[in-house]
Structure 1
Amino acid sequence: MMQAFDEAAIDRMIVGTQRPLDGFEELYQQVLAVQGFAQDAEKLVTVECSAQGVTGLDINPRALRWGSDKLAATILELIATSLADLQEKSNAIMAEKWGEAPLDLTKEGNPAELRLRNAQDTYDRAMENSMAELARIQRRVDGS
């Protein structure tokens, strides 16, 4: 007698492969929404940065009296400061998720890499199991 194909088991394997990825989309959206901010001491130049780069630059007309060299240097410094603020805020969001700060994505064994590797391993195992089950069913069908 041929055993019935267990669709529920396949569904459970598929759900299991998705579990390690839970929360990544929400985390991604949170990080995309982060804004870095920097302002000079006189509050004449303000820079905002996001994941897309510089998203805001406000120059008070009084800052134009500084001359082009000082204004350019100030803007470049504020961009770097704003990007550092953006990175710090992003690290804080990721620390809430993974319990580490700062999160160095280039570091071997960082939490994001480990979770992605775990998700890939789970997916690979589920696919191997699914293919083995389908091959077993095919052999039974061919033998009948």
Structure 2
Amino acid sequence: MIYKNYDYALSLLVQGLSSLIMGLNPRQISYKIIDSGTMGDKLHIDTREQWVYTADPYSLTRDARYVIIGDRYGYKIESIKILDNSTVSQMDSDFVERKKGSTTERLFSMDDIPQAKRLKGEGRIASSYASDVDLE
């Protein structure tokens, strides 16, 4: 859930679901509604979300289903179910990898970058996001 004010974000959740509000890292930077529908008297909204760390080489793309219920003040999130996710990271290794489910794929290592393109001294790949790149 993208939020700027913790108290306001809490007001959008059914009581007891405050653990669904993430801290600063990773943080959600975008979302896209990919489907919606009803399940009995409840509304569900499926989203594709992009999450990143501030300075760490980590990017998460996840699909999530938000179950929404109405109350006298409007709507609240009753639950969030993760439907699918894929990460691209270089957290504890010298290579960048993609994880999707139980599958891990090595994308490239620092040694794959031509010497002329590398920074002098120690370096790492920082996280980035490009809206025209499909991570699936």
Name the TM-score, length of structure 1 as normaliser.
Answer: 0.27
Q: Decide which structure has greater strand share.
A: 2
Q: Decide which structure has greater helix share.
A: 1
Name the TM-score, length of structure 2 as normaliser.
Answer: 0.28
Ranked by relative contact order (alpha carbons within 8 Å, sequence separation 6 or more), the top structure is: 1
Return the index of the structure with the highest Cα Rg.
Answer: 1
